[in-house]
Structure 1
Amino acid sequence: MKKIALHGMVSSRNFGDILMVDIVSKYLAQKAYDISIPMACNAVLNDLSIKQNNRGFWSFNSCDNLVYTGGGYFGPMANRNFSKDLKMILKFASPSEFFIPKSGHHIIGVGVNGLDKYQITKSYMKRLFNSAGTLAVRDEESLFELEKIGVRHSGIEVLADIALNIQLESIPANSLEYAKGEISDLRCRYEKVIALHLSGVPDEKYYDNIYAGILKYAEKNKDVGFVLIEDHPSPTNSSPQILAAQYLKNILLERAKIIPYTFHWNLVAVLSQIDGIVTNKLHVAIVSSALNKIAIAFTKHEKNHRFFAQIEASERCSNLQEQNPNSVYTLMENEFHYINRGEIIPVRVRDLARRNLELVQQNLIK
């Protein structure tokens, strides 16, 4: 049996990253490949139900192929500097550079941005992308970013985010039961249930207007209940997302319920049971949309705008810093008025997301 190493942002339990690794892992396991995640932490391996004795860079040596799973890790980091770029090179370029045979690595469903700031970054990343056996990015803008650093891969494809493969049938039964139980009381008492998911506290710059708009919507729509969620664990209950949830809970009282992060499929299941969501995080918006729920995003990041443009819903994604209470309220009022709109994701975009998995399976060593 051929062993496939999966690589990406696997050092923490961040929802979007671990979900995409899980989707690829399950797909390849069904095709009878042995899966290894050399750089995963214990918590991630536990969530993925993968037992693995050997980890770290040297364990790439025992693998036949390397697959870089989806995500935005080939993009800008907070407070970007030369030192952080070197760490990115070490983490993501070195496995294919030193441990996996040339053309033994495949890159699928990634977002790319800002790799042209430093020459050393351009050189290593250009080589990484050009030598990939499979190369697929999740949007047109990522293709443009690769062309800027001189990538000329003959087989590059522009696809869509891997998480768009999720459907209701993808969710484990126990996670679905968990979510229904968590939301059942709100479902009994309110006509609609809207999720709120913010990464900024009320006194943080620009977020005050978002909270004011949300609370105006709540005041004018007494038939709406709210679930307050987070997309990664907060052991100390002090993350901005938990503080945001606690602030809203103290105002909305019995109309709201906090659902802490427990497991990535549990969060997927919760998103399947709501009617809409306000978020500032990309993969919460992507998964909600994949499950045909109305997602509204207030964002600081271009990657969110890229996604909403791809699904032909740019009107539901707005810059965080440009909002006022009335603009937030009006957008929520308009978008959540009609919640049952059928398929949110265009068929062609679903097909592009599925193509990620088909591509890598076609090109792996048999």
Structure 2
Amino acid sequence: MISLHGAYDNENFGDELLVGIQAKWVQELDLKVGLPFASQVYRDQISSSEAVGEECLNKSEKLIYTGGGYFGEPNHKKYKWGINFFRKKHHVPGKNFKKNNKKYMIAGVGAGPVSNILTRTSIVNICNSAEKVLVRDEASFEYLKKYGVKNMEMKITGDVVLSLSEEDIPRKSIKEASNIIAKDKAKYFLGIHIGVAPGDSFYKDNIENVMKSILKVLENADIKPVLIADKRNSLPQEKAIDEMRKRLKEEPLIYRHENMWDTCAFLSQLDGVITTKLHVGITSFALGTKTFGIAAHQKTKRFYEQINKEKNFYELSQINEDISTSIREFIQEEYWDKDTLEVKQELKRKALENKQEVISFLNGN
């Protein structure tokens, strides 16, 4: 059995998908997957051992820290994040495997910054005891080096989700998504995904500017608004959906995430997506949907720099005025030019290096 660890204590699309993709890689080798500390929604979507916690780790031959940004703190509430790193047991799998002299690797994580010294020390120790450390971008590599990671097997690959293509998604999910959206060539289907509640104490005015800007673009354009929640039972996202719905002139489509493959399929059918979350943007890009980023987390900017689409990106905390012109230009632009397609292909190649390294590790090479 191979244990997979990730940011899987809550019900969030991107984290589910990162574990789900790497679980498929393991299962393709006819190996059983263990999810030691995963919540039930992961077990419902990923075939895995019934063993949990330390029992799962003890029964596993090897361990993979899967992709995700859980080695880096958000823009605010940094102290709470540092404490939660331990509450979410991110340190436990590596510690268990080191104690039992068993091998583990890290595949496709994002890292840094980390201001909490205890958390930083734990991350460095996890990385230095791993067989391989694969990070998804150059900034992550530089942060880990700066913090003291000496692992000679550390290298830059890519975000695991960038390995996706439509062929990876069940045909049933694609068919259901196309039936929901029922594309009309006269309409531009625009996904609108706001992961922060209107009136949020930290982003209050910024979120209002975002919503006003989107509503302004929708006023005089043949665009079908599609409101998205990528996390189950998320009060902030439901508040954002309710507020946008009240202020829209036409009834929007509303999509709430339940299954990671269904959500991938849904995003692939849209013409464009405006999102505050990293992996809604990455998944959309990987599957051929234009993406406009409004970041509530500092890790997000790295992706838009990687794809050379900084003009389609804003830090949420810096949106102090109308951005409708930028959104309108995003909708109208020839997004998939030659350079973007080449970047997309190269990022997919680097993302698939994670798979090659995982297979090599599991085969004992």
Partner of 2:53: 56
Q: How far off its partner does 1:290 sit?
A: 0.6
Secondary structure in structure 2 of the residue aligned to 1:302: coil
Of residues 69-78 and 139-148 in structure 1, the stretch that sits farther from structure 2 once superposed is 69-78
1-structure distance, mates of 2:255, 2:318: 29
Q: How far off its partner does 1:324 sit?
A: 4.6
Equivalent position amino acid for 1:65 in 2:
K
2-structure distance, mates of 1:83, 1:249: 32
Partner of 1:285: 281
Secondary structure in structure 2 of the residue aligned to 1:346: helix
Q: Cα RMSD (Å) of the superposition?
A: 2.2
The answer to whether the 8 A contact 2:198-2:236 is kept is no
* Pair 1:254–1:87, CA change in 2 (3 A): closer
1-structure distance, mates of 2:282, 2:312: 12
* Pair 1:355–1:254, CA change in 2 (3 A): same
* Cα deviation code 1:79-119 (max 9, x no counterpart): 2338943752871222222245446110010011133531x
Q: How far off its partner does 1:147 sit?
A: 1.2
Identity, % of aligned pairs?
A: 28
2:149 to 126, 148, 151: 151
The answer to whether the 8 A contact 2:277-2:296 is kept is no
* Pair 1:67–1:233, CA change in 2 (3 A): same
* Pair 1:339–1:168, CA change in 2 (3 A): farther
The answer to whether the 8 A contact 2:191-2:273 is kept is yes
* Pair 1:83–1:208, CA change in 2 (3 A): closer
Partner of 1:330: 325
* Pair 1:168–1:87, CA change in 2 (3 A): closer
2-structure distance, mates of 1:82, 1:142: 21
Matching of residue 244 in structure 1 with residue 229 in structure 2: no
Q: How far off its partner does 1:249 sit?
A: 1.9
Equivalent position amino acid for 1:220 in 2:
N
Partner of 1:220: 220
Partner of 2:133: 135
Equivalent position amino acid for 1:52 in 2:
S
Secondary structure in structure 1 of the residue aligned to 2:64: strand
Equivalent position amino acid for 1:148 in 2:
K
2-structure distance, mates of 1:334, 1:102: 55
* Cα deviation code 1:9-68 (max 9, x no counterpart): 1222210111011100111111222111111122210022x2432111232001000000
Matching of residue 72 in structure 1 with residue 80 in structure 2: no
* Pair 1:89–1:115, CA change in 2 (3 A): farther
2-structure distance, mates of 1:115, 1:257: 39
Partner of 1:231: 230
Partner of 1:107: 106
1:188 to 184, 187, 190: 184
* Pair 1:365–1:91, CA change in 2 (3 A): farther
Equivalent position amino acid for 1:338 in 2:
E
2:174 to 171, 176, 181: 176
2-structure distance, mates of 1:175, 1:13: 20
Secondary structure in structure 2 of the residue aligned to 1:321: helix
Alignment: residue pair count = 355
Equivalent position amino acid for 2:324 in 1:
Y
2-structure distance, mates of 1:116, 1:250: 40
Partner of 2:293: 297
Gaps of 5+ in 1: none
Q: TM-score, normalised by structure 1?
A: 0.90
The answer to whether the 8 A contact 2:79-2:116 is kept is no
Equivalent position amino acid for 1:108 in 2:
A
Matches within 5 A, 1:113-132: 113-118=112-117, 120-132=118-130
* Cα deviation code 1:323-356 (max 9, x no counterpart): 2553x21111111113662665432211111101
The answer to whether the 8 A contact 1:304-1:317 is kept is no
1-structure distance, mates of 2:197, 2:96: 43
Partner of 1:8: 6
The answer to whether the 8 A contact 2:134-2:354 is kept is yes
* Cα deviation code 1:160-196 (max 9, x no counterpart): 1000011111111121122112111xx2384211000
Matching of residue 321 in structure 1 with residue 335 in structure 2: no
* Cα deviation code 1:118-167 (max 9, x no counterpart): 1x334332221011111100111111111122111112111110000111
* Pair 1:288–1:145, CA change in 2 (3 A): same
Of residues 341-350 and 17-26 in structure 1, the stretch that sits farther from structure 2 once superposed is 341-350
2-structure distance, mates of 1:268, 1:347: 19
Matching of residue 162 in structure 1 with residue 160 in structure 2: yes
Equivalent position amino acid for 1:323 in 2:
I
Of residues 21-30 and 299-308 in structure 1, the stretch that sits farther from structure 2 once superposed is 299-308
2-structure distance, mates of 1:306, 1:83: 20
Secondary structure in structure 2 of the residue aligned to 1:6: strand
Equivalent position amino acid for 2:359 in 1:
Q
Secondary structure in structure 2 of the residue aligned to 1:115: coil
Secondary structure in structure 2 of the residue aligned to 1:350: helix
